[in-house]
Amino acid sequence: MTAANPSDALAICERKDTSIDLLMTDVVLPGLSGPALKDKIGAIRPGIKILFMSGYTSNVIIHHGVLENGVHYIQKPFSMNELALKVRQAIGEK
């Protein structure tokens, strides 16, 4: 599923008939940061796995609190192989 903005992502996550294993979100979003979206969705769906992405440099991302231990992150641009590896890591597969 895709969402055009944070509001749409929240609306999708609020639907009870929808199974979601992973939220993949940009760090910098219009109207709400990726980490703030993670917190809001985490309140709706405790335990949801998160994969952050960004095209910004690591210095910018650090200020958003994303590059902490245990946070899954992928730098743009990325290949499909890199994405597949990061998704597996985020959902807990080896």
In a domain, 1, yes or no: no
**pLDDT-above-70 percentage for the chain:** 86
pLDDT at 48 (0 to 100): 94
- Number of other CB atoms surrounding residue 9 within 10 Å: 21
CA distance readout (Å), 9 to 19, 37, 46, 72: 13, 8, 15, 19
CA distance readout (Å), 21 to 31, 56, 61, 68, 75: 24, 26, 24, 21, 21
CA distance readout (Å), 79 to 13, 29, 69, 75, 85: 27, 22, 23, 10, 10
In a domain, 66, yes or no: yes
The structural domain count of the chain equals: 1
How far, in Å, CA of 66 to CA of 52, rounded?
A: 8
What is the CATH number for 50?
3.40.50.2300
pLDDT tens by residue, 2-36: 999 999 999 999 998 989 999 999 988 888 988 89
pLDDT above 70 (res 69) = no
Question: What's the pTM value of the predicted model, to 2 decimals?
Answer: 0.85
